[in-house]
Chains A and B, each alone.
Chain A
Amino acid sequence: MSLHVAFDGITKEFGPVRVLHGVSFDLHPGRVHGLLGENGAGKSTLMKILAGYHAATSGTLSIDGEPVVFRTSRDAEKRGIVLIHQELSLADDLTVAQNMFLGHEIRRGWLLDDRAMRARAADALRQVGFERDPDTKVRDLIVAEKQLVEIAKAQLRNARLLIMDEPTASLTPSECDRLFGLIERLRRDGVTIVYISHKLDEVERITDEVIVMRDGRFVARAPTAETPRQRMATLMVGRELTDMFPDKHIPIRGPALGTPLMAVRGLTVPGWAEDVSFDLHPGEILGFAGLVGAGRTELFEGILGLRPRSGGTVEIEGRPVSLRTPRAAMRNGLTYLSEDRKGKGLHVTMGLRDNLTLMTLRHHARPLLSPASEERALEHAVASFGIRGNPQGTAASLSGGNQQKLAIAKFLEPDPRVFVLDEPTRGVDVGAKRDIYFLIARLAAEGRGVIVISSELIELIGLCHRVIVMRGRRVSATVPADRLSEEELIAHAIGTNAGTNIGTDIGTNARP
């Protein structure tokens, strides 16, 4: 019933970028494996190779001792391997039952046998504890329900190995509990499970052993019971956490002194943020924490005029400003780097130079654009931000960390007084992460105000002078540097005292 998977020397290259460097390890039948690693460690890529979404560049994948090559996810499904995506992959406009049989429809002659599909879907859904009508459209489900549908769908295909990529990212604690119960049942039924998560307490609770990857390599494996969380965090990061962050400079002017660089009062972005007020001072790094969906990104998109606002004021250096577009924001000294680097931050198919100078073409026009002047700007950025890669290639040819440095350079070209970074280290390797932290500290030391929105609590704690926590569209707390701890931030983010079954981000208790 269960199956044994062996990776042997798996490498994977995307164009010139090598994301897996010869990974070898086994997955044992009928066990729950926690697969750990920071963003960009290669976990998801490796699992996509196992599930048939990517082909390995070299190396061998064996199932029950027999080498296999999966060309499509269907090939993998035939061997009972199913990946449940981070971004769930259900078609919103189809019903639950239609989704579960998509590509595997039951037919009677030329026609679909809806009744049979609905009955079998209902049966599988009952087993995972999904209580709604299989004729419900997926659009009308909440995330936790979609996840159950995905698992039920995997069950229909007789999954023997289930890969779950960050399944609890947007679940409430009680939904998490239900999911963990289901995983336990699947394991008793002999299903092998790979559980990818940043949340070490979850890993500790439900996995039998942990496998750690870092920068595209296998690092370690150990029984979960023998691996304290602090050890897991150190293995993932690859160095003591204290080395990762620069010393915190004291803001040039303390919050009590002088005019704030930026003052937001009573700002409301309908549906996303209500009555948000905060100050940002020169030289300050201000963090924004909160669960996915707490409204942090949308708040700043609202400030930039990318979403409608229904109230509130913004002042920059004491002057009230009306920011209707990102262009107006830039002119008033505010730029924002989105969390979605490839969708909103960089033109991946364009060159480095064109990306860098897009916001400041005026400086290079005399009156026609001067390629030489743009080239000088690129040389300067490459040197001062440490961007490594072919300067004549496209942005897509850079690694995640170098793309992020280019994106930061791009949004700093207009020389903003206030710089907002949304998830600045997502999909970035450890070395680049550290570079970005030191860069942020340097920007603040120059007297700019820096706002960091992040889901990695450890990053906010290591970097920020103050952290604002949002919960359910409102500011729930402002935590000063000396009180920053993961327990404190989580308690404000979910609105309870920090308990044991609450999803904490990496490295709880890991900081000295």
Chain B
Amino acid sequence: MSAARSARRFDPHRFGPVVGLLLLLIVGTALNPDFATWDNLMNVLTRTAFIGIISIGMCFVIISGGIDLSVGSMAALIAGGMILLMNALAGSVGSPVAVVALGMLFALLLGGGFGLAHGYLITRGRIEPFIVTLGTLGIFRALLTWLADGGAITLDNDLSDAYGPVYYGSLLGIPVPVWVFLLVSVAGGILLNRTAFGRYVQAIGSNEQVARFAAVDVDRVKLLTYGLLGVCVGIATVLYVPRLGSASPTTGLLWELEAIAAVIVGGTSFKGGEGRIAGTVIGAVLLSVISNILNLTSIISVYLNAAVQGCVIIAVAFLQRRRP
């Protein structure tokens, strides 16, 4: 499969995102000397980590032929839930570090649980993924808003200090979220390309019937892709919470769009069947580089960030379209 693809001279699906990113880097460097600095680079990558990690999970779901619209709301609800839990535990558990560790574990379990619930409704309930996750998109955010009583849920100060390094800390000069992003990307790449599960995900997205007749347990694999995405949302939330130390009705707003856009810009077919983790990572970075350049320069208002990203998504989809 891959050999057949690389045999072609130029494949826009594979090289398009890389070329686009390189062009953006050149443009950014030319427009502002602050762009091509280590600090700015790390800043961009740290901000990419949340969406990037979610888009790795999203990549599996989209390759299998599904979709999850709820990830932004899910992140908000997980953030609110974990903050409430940690605040409640702060009195009874002595060490703030232990409280934070419990909170992080809770976030991952909650994410995985939400994802499996999606998968269960989609496979056993035989409801379209678009509908199921459109429903939970509303449910998750409404629950968070209700829990926060319309305002914000804020982490206690002691806990914030203990939790801070997860976002602000760095190792060998590279921020922790970037390390986590890297680890999740590598794990995702191996899972997709070198395990039976990954092959089944591609087979199901390529043609679900054929996979079913070839003794693939289609429902189980689909269920797991949603569970995996839920865990990714949990990880992203764990990294995000210490940044602001609170969750509000606007937390994670429109993350689903950015995550899906990163996957598509990265060359994964929206119809399912084929996709790449490396492309997804580049897609996520590319989108945040755009907003970074807008922030650093004054040619286009930063308020138009989403509009520029939207144009990029449509342009990429245009370049990648296949002949009918």
- List residues of chain A with CB under 8 Å of any chain B CB: 306, 325-327, 329-330, 335-336, 338, 343-351, 353-354, 358-359, 361-362, 365, 367-369, 390, 392-394, 410-411, 414
Contacts and interface: CB of A to CB of B under 8 A. Distances in A.
B173 to A, nearest CB: 31
Contact of A362 (B193, B196, B207, B209): B196
B288 interface: no
Given A359-B215, A361-B196, A392 B4 contact: yes
Interface stretch (B45-53, B84-92, B114-122, B198-206): B198-206
B11 interface: no
B215 A361 contact: no
Contacts of B206: 347, 349-350
B321 interface: no
B212 interface: yes
A394 B4 contact: yes
A350 B196 contact: no
Given A368-B195, A369-B194, A345 B216 contact: no
Residue with the highest number of chain B CB atoms closer than 10 Å, among A306, A369, A414: A369
B203 A350 contact: yes
Given A343-B207, A347-B207, 6 more contacts: A325-B215, A345-B210, A349-B274, A358-B203, A362-B196, A392-B4
A351 B273 contact: no
A358 B1 contact: no
Nearest to B269: A349
A486 B203 CA distance: 41
B172 interface: no
B214 A359 contact: yes
Interface string B126-151: 00000000000000000000000000
A351 B1 contact: yes
Nearest to A331: B215
29 contacts: A326-B213, A326-B215, A329-B215, A330-B215, A344-B209, A344-B213, A346-B210, A347-B203, A347-B207, A347-B210, A348-B207, A350-B1, A350-B203, A351-B2, A351-B4, A354-B199, A358-B203, A358-B214, A359-B214, A361-B196, A361-B199, A361-B200, A362-B196, A390-B4, A392-B3, A392-B7, A394-B1, A394-B4, A411-B214
A414 B214 CA distance: 10
B202 A350 contact: yes
Contacts of A344: 209-210, 212-213
A349 B4 CA distance: 11
B93 to A, nearest CB: 37
Given A350-B202, A358-B203, A392-B4, A365 B215 contact: no
Q: Which applies to chain B's interface (DSSP): helix, strand, loop or mixed? A: helix
B195 A365 contact: yes
Contacts of A325: 215, 217
Residue with the highest number of chain B CB atoms closer than 10 Å, among A343, A347, A410, A414: A347
A413 to B, nearest CB: 10
Contacts of A358: 199-200, 203, 211, 214, 216
A329 B214 CA distance: 11
A412 to B, nearest CB: 12
B190 interface: yes
Contact of A336 (B194, B195, B213, B274): B213
A373 to B, nearest CB: 12
B4 A393 contact: yes
Nearest to A349: B206
B224 to A, nearest CB: 15
Interface in B232-282: 273-274
Contact of A345 (B200, B202, B213): B213
Nearest to B193: A369
B194 A368 contact: yes
Q: Which 5 A-B pairs have the closest CB atoms?
A: A351-B1, A361-B196, A368-B194, A327-B215, A326-B215
A354 B1 contact: yes
Contacts of B7: 392
Residue with the highest number of chain B CB atoms closer than 10 Å, among A344, A353, A390, A393: A344
A284 B315 CA distance: 59
B195 A369 contact: yes
A338 B212 CA distance: 11
B220 to A, nearest CB: 9
A327 B221 CA distance: 13
